[in-house]
Structure 1
Amino acid sequence: MTWFADFIDAGGLAYADVISTHGYAANIDDLRKGIGGLDRLIRQHNAGKSKPIIVSEVGLTNTTVSPPLGNVSRVLNAEQAGAGLVKIYATMKSIPAVAQTVWYAALDDGTDPREPEANFGLYRQPTAGVSAYQPKPAAAAMSFFIRHLDGYRFSSAASVGADVSEMTFTNEAGGTRRLMWKNAPFADNDTATQDVPITTATDHRTIVRSYTGDVLAELGPGTSNIAVGIEPVYVEEVTAPR
């Protein structure tokens, strides 16, 4: 943030149509504070107006190397990277100034699991046993996120109980789709869950999906509890088939 403050003090905003920054962080709170803080800084020096922000790099590396070595955005396995991707993109959609978010990277730079900089990809490098680019969970997460929320805009964010975040997205037809997850650092391996009540209207059903789109549960009318952990779940109420 110091660099951007110096840039703005030097008059840089007068020459900038957009602002580019990186979003590497160990958890959603740090990411939100970083991007939100940059937007506030811009508005403070731009007559209260934002400039479009491009998060030109953000990602998570699944590496076996422990801190303090390597990038701050380390997770313990590819599943955590996939879950984190969904949280990151949902959060970036909730910040109006963010015009674009670019995931780093499409393809792993190498095959050594101990190398932090080699394991940011959505896909693995070919190996002797697998000649194609093998998708990691983050690739499936990205694909489903794009398809499931196509045409939907961020509507609201809320806390459910003490530890669960809920983000709601709506479309022009009045459709609503929600994402929920238990708050924790991206690399947290806590398996505990929190029960969240879900109310389904008469003649409707609620579909609960994993962060890669697999159906986890279908709930009938009434109120039911779902277990929400650190892996995000999609929740959508739809008209029941007749």
Structure 2
Amino acid sequence: MYDYHVHSSYSDGEFLEGMVEAAADAGLDGVGFADHCNVSEREHLKRYKKRFGFNLDLTYERRRDAIEELREEYDLRIFDAVEVDYHPADEAEIRAFLAEADFDYAVGSVHEVEEANVHWDYFADRTDEQQRAAVDEYFDRVVALVESGLFDVAAHLDIVERNPALRGYATSDHYEAVAAALADSKTVPELNAGRIQADYGEFHPGPDFLSVLAEHDVSVTVGSDAHSPRELRERVPILSDGLDAAPLDVVELSV
């Protein structure tokens, strides 16, 4: 079993070696470090980047050296990957960075609509119509992410469900649009366990979304989205059970 979506202290997770040790303890055959990265030139994102310190575009070579050392010490495959925030306005910057950095694979994710992170309480103050429009914008952006051809993996396809203010607005039309784009793409969605132990309590994508993906013969890959050794150890067996119950095929990335 491979876990292609794990974070380290090179973004918002814990120390790299501790995460590798946890992956080995969990019995994984391989673990992929897809730390957050934003390469946008838009001013508000440059400001957030300075404040939150997600600087993998500046530190990926140092992390790569550390991964090379860890590969010699641990009996599992360790992948040098990245999770890039996607917006259509940033495609040129993303394409240039990925070509230069040459990661084992790239994960794309949409975390923002209306220049606000979908996790934020900002959306709680919106009207019903505004919340619905935010979810429409989110899924339009996920379709654009897939159609861009920039990414090997599409992360947590329905992450808006994590936010109580946006939960429940996703429709079968949203799922169909994303599934149709994936069916015509080399981008693979992931079964993501990032909120399986939280109040949300579901994988991403949720059951209804997974059924639509299965109808389009879309396969998935696997990501615990773990940020700590404890999360990684706890989520691997949950993911294993989820994969057994999932109505679609699981694929390994060609890396």
TM-score interval (norm. to shorter): 0.3 to 0.5
TM-score after normalising by structure 2: 0.34
TM-score after normalising by structure 1: 0.36
More strand by share: 1
